[in-house]
Structure 1
């Protein structure tokens, strides 16, 4: 896809400290500029930054001679390897949530880019869960605050008290079913070969099926309506790339953030928390530790990144930058 728009991509392999093998793409630019890392949201991949072609952020950055890197978290279509675990037969492979995405995937990606380029730090864009990764890492491994120049959060997600229906209801139901699903051996959701994903892609691409199931309406019902930015003709392209694999545990962790609502580590229940954290409740992520300069960009009709929750996040972060319209600090 990158080659179609004049920027052939390099492929890099990054191994995390807990053995997951991630794929990282690079659109070559000016080596003297600070690298720019783009990180996708939940059930997504690096594809999200390029499928709009010349309207995509990655292509625009590359056209302006930036050194662009596209990250992928463990488990998605580009990062399914592990040093010794097999995702198809080892349930332990899927024992992760956004906590591990932040602590291990993002940290390994940043270290690799800085080592490869020799740059002292990088700029970063995150989308949705791609921002949660930043909050997890920067609040816990505080040395990484010195490795990010500016973190730009698109559709910032952290708190979930104001998330609009039907997502809260769906997450509550899934949370109640979690013990049963685990007992049945369910470890991951909405993979490229899952029945739901295949069906969703079919109804988006075959008009006759659209009479029975409106994939376009489903997307707007979940995420918020904007037919100008996501026109019907683009839907088949979107559904070729989204969703892609994530762990069931990751979805449940997000459900906990929405239901509680607190930005905390995974809640295993009182006895499980005692074993994991030496406390009956999961510890909170200390957002006051996030010293990196942060830009928050939210939208009025985003059902998942509601302005009330973004405002709560804003009050917790100590170094949020106020920007003039259409301007981002670099």
Structure 2
């Protein structure tokens, strides 16, 4: 009730329109001349997720390539967010223009994953008892199978950014049969072990979630940064009116890279970001910030014994990702440090290439929002997509 009152107060004082309709994925793509579809997927544990498909790019000439491509967004992001840099830079648009059948997923807890077959996210704590573990174990496999069933293909190519990359490695560890359905995995600064993260903001946010988990639980706060919470309204207003201040705010989360993100992107990006997740997911990230390994959720000694049969959470089996993999990261990434991506690279049995972006200022935000994506990282991505399209 307090949150509702705060929303009303901000509406009156700041003129924030809480009823404003944000364009969704299909509406955004249509405005740019792309044909897209919305699909609904139900996971094994009952979560109802929307995913989107661009069937043909505005600049695609010729036939659609044989192998579909699946793109998984990062923490606190939904499919819409991947379109923010526009047709000349956003990854789904670029892949679609290269004549690929591109699908974009949404993890549970975002505004496209806030439904369940029997649980009410506004009332049931159980809905929010998930982390990247469940996203990788249930959400990603459900969407991969849906794409393959819908396209009548045996395999697809997977691109995952940050959490979208980390959840892929969770899937391979927990569901190795699913990993065999992937021809190629491209990891953009994939979030696995996060021990060297430099982002003070991320460390503080996640540690606060972990340290106060019992407090949040007693207050029945299980969701964080949901779209209907006050955050999106304030951020949207903040960035529309002062791009420089918005750029400064983003630089608190990641390292600074002036001029990389277009002003037009800053003006709209925080209307859709953050897209929501669970407190528990942030706690799992907090645990990853301290650990030397990539491990499952730590419930505490007593519950770990019941869940895992061991007082400590087990490691994810990264060697289970035995398929061709391309990793791309930036030297200036404060969220997923290059040292941690190098650590991951050493664990992968079929790593084909580990690319550090040439621009020394390339950071985490750039992987998703930079106006230079087309020049800095997409040529390498397209090269690999073409190479493995019909293999």
Aligned equivalent of 2:311: 280
Return the alpha-carbon distance in structure 2 between the equivalents of residues 113 and 316 of structure 1.
Answer: 28
Question: Does 2:361 match 1:327?
Answer: no
Preserved contact between residue 31 and residue 117 of structure 1 (Cα < 8 Å): no
Aligned equivalent of 2:277: 246
Cα RMSD after superposing both structures: 1.8
Q: Cα offset for 1:130?
A: 0.1
Question: Does 2:175 match 1:144?
Answer: no
Question: Does 2:34 match 1:3?
Answer: no
Aligned equivalent of 2:220: 185
Q: Cα offset for 1:217?
A: 1.1
SS of 2:185's equivalent?
Answer: strand
Aligned equivalent of 2:326: 295
Q: Cα offset for 1:323?
A: 6.9
Q: Which moved more, 1:30-39 or 1:121-130?
A: 30-39
- Across the two proteins, how many residue pairs are aligned to each other? 326
Preserved contact between residue 172 and residue 320 of structure 2 (Cα < 8 Å): yes
Q: Which moved more, 1:86-95 or 1:53-62?
A: 53-62
Q: Cα offset for 1:132?
A: 0.8
Q: Deviations over 1:72-112 (max 9, x none)?
A: 11121112221111111111111111111011000000111
Aligned equivalent of 1:170: 205
Q: Cα offset for 1:304?
A: 0.7
Return the alpha-carbon distance in structure 2 between the equivalents of residues 172 and 88 of structure 1.
Answer: 24
Q: Deviations over 1:283-323 (max 9, x none)?
A: 11011111121110001111011111111001111111127
Aligned equivalent of 1:61, options 95, 120, 132: 95
Return the alpha-carbon distance in structure 2 between the equivalents of residues 87 and 168 of structure 1.
Answer: 26
Aligned equivalent of 1:115: 149
Aligned equivalent of 1:219: 250
Aligned equivalent of 2:48: 21
SS of 1:2's equivalent?
Answer: helix
Q: Deviations over 1:264-286 (max 9, x none)?
A: 11101101111211211111101
Preserved contact between residue 106 and residue 133 of structure 1 (Cα < 8 Å): yes
SS of 2:141's equivalent?
Answer: helix
User: Which ranges of structure 1 fall in alignment gaps of 5 or more residues?
Assistant: none
- Structure 1 pair 9/177, CA: closer, same or farther in 2 (3 Å)? same
Q: TM-score, normalised by structure 1?
A: 0.94
Question: Does 2:305 match 1:271?
Answer: no
Q: TM-score, normalised by structure 2?
A: 0.80
Q: Which moved more, 1:8-17 or 1:314-323?
A: 314-323
After TM superposition, which residue ranges in structure 1, 4 or more long, deviate above 6 angstroms? none
